[in-house]
């Protein structure tokens, strides 16, 4: 048997290592970037869920929730900065 019993999801990877094809075309990065890195990547709900998982797994509160909240704040400030720059550019350029 190739996979353990009750396996429901499998991610696979393969590539040509020579032979018939001389070039390799990488495909799928755009999907990964849009799926996992666009928009609100980390939320307060994610932080609380992760804290609960760490606590149940380790039996101690090792999870750095404040560090993750800091990341949310930095990302929010970056978004605000980008929007301000866009607004300034739109105002300056007729």
* Domain definitions of the chain by residue range: 41-92
Q: pLDDT at position 85, please?
A: 82
Q: pLDDT at position 4, please?
A: 85
Q: pLDDT at position 94, please?
A: 59
Q: What is the DSSP string of 9-69?
A: ---------STT-S------HHHHHHHHHSS--S-HHHHHHHHHHHHHHHSS----HHHHH
Assess contact for 51 and 63: CB atoms under 8 A: yes
The pTM of the full predicted model, rounded to 2 decimals, is 0.50
Place of tokens 């992760």: 50
Consecutive 10-residue runs of the chain (94 residues): their mean pLDDT?
85 76 76 77 90 92 92 83 80 71
- The backbone torsions φ and ψ at residue 13, rounded to the nearest 5 degrees and listed phi first, read -145, 135
């Amino acid at each position: 048997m190739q996979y353990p019993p009750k396996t429901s999801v499998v991610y696979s990877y393969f590539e040509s290592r020579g032979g018939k094809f001389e070039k390799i075309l990488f495909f799928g990065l755009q999907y990964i970037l849009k799926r996992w890195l666009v928009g609100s990547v980390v939320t307060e709900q994610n932080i609380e869920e992760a804290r609960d998982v760490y606590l149940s797994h380790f039996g101690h509160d090792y999870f750095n929730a404040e560090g993750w909240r800091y990341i949310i704040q930095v990302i929010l400030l970056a978004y605000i900065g980008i929007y301000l720059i866009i607004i300034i550019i739109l105002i300056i350029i007729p």
